[in-house]
């Protein structure tokens, strides 16, 4: 789980760098990033939903955990849909499409990576301690 968080946080850093450098971005960075977003999220979400969340629910006391995992699962769906949109934009930029509205693209990228960072923060603060994983990163 720590490894998955680290990979997603590294992705967030790359996306933030792209957003910060718009419209003068490196096309290869955009292409490479576009190619990892969806597979990374799908793989980590599948692991969370099949291993981490059931363990969290079993280890939790009280009624909050099923509601929390339902919310986290819903965020996974939203994140994957948003990831598809971000991927399309990055692929277009990577293939040389002119950036007509750098501010809007930057806003989109920031919305995506900030959502991922919030999700990770919640898991680190609430889910991992309950299942016995200490995350000091």
How far apart (Å, rounded) are the C-alpha atoms in residues 31 and 88?
Answer: 10
| pLDDT on residue 68 | 86
* % of the chain surpassing 70 pLDDT: 94
Reply yes or no on whether the pLDDT at 128 is more than 80. yes
Q: Which CATH class is domain 2-130?
A: mainly alpha
Q: Which of 86, 76, 77 lies closest to 31 in space, CA to CA?
A: 86
Reply yes or no on whether the pLDDT at 63 is more than 80. no
| pLDDT on residue 23 | 95
Q: Which of 29, 1, 18, 13 lies closest to 117 in space, CA to CA?
A: 13
133 DSSP assignment = -
Other Cβ atoms closer than 10 A to 8: 20
Q: Where are the domains of the chain?
A: 2-130
| pLDDT on residue 74 | 95
Structure tokens at 82: 């948003």
Reply yes or no on whether the pLDDT at 82 is more than 90. yes
Angle at CA 115, nearest 5°, toward 97 and 123?
140
| pLDDT on residue 35 | 97
How far apart (Å, rounded) are the C-alpha atoms in residues 101 and 126?
Answer: 38
Rounded mean pLDDT of the chain?
Answer: 92
């Amino acid at each position: 789980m720590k490894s998955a968080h680290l990979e997603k946080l590294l992705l967030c850093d790359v996306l933030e760098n792209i957003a910060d450098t718009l419209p003068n971005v490196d096309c290869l960075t955009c292409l490479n990033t576009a190619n990892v977003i969806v597979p990374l999220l799908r793989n980590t979400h599948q692991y969370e939903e099949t291993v981490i969340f059931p363990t969290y629910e079993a280890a939790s006391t009280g009624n909050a955990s099923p509601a929390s995992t339902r919310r986290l699962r819903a965020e996974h769906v939203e994140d994957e849909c948003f990831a598809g949109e971000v991927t399309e934009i990055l692929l277009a930029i990577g293939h040389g499409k002119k950036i007509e509205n750098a501010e809007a693209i930057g806003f989109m990228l920031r919305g995506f990576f900030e959502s991922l960072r919030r999700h990770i923060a919640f898991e680190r603060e609430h889910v991992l301690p309950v299942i016995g994983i200490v995350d000091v990163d």
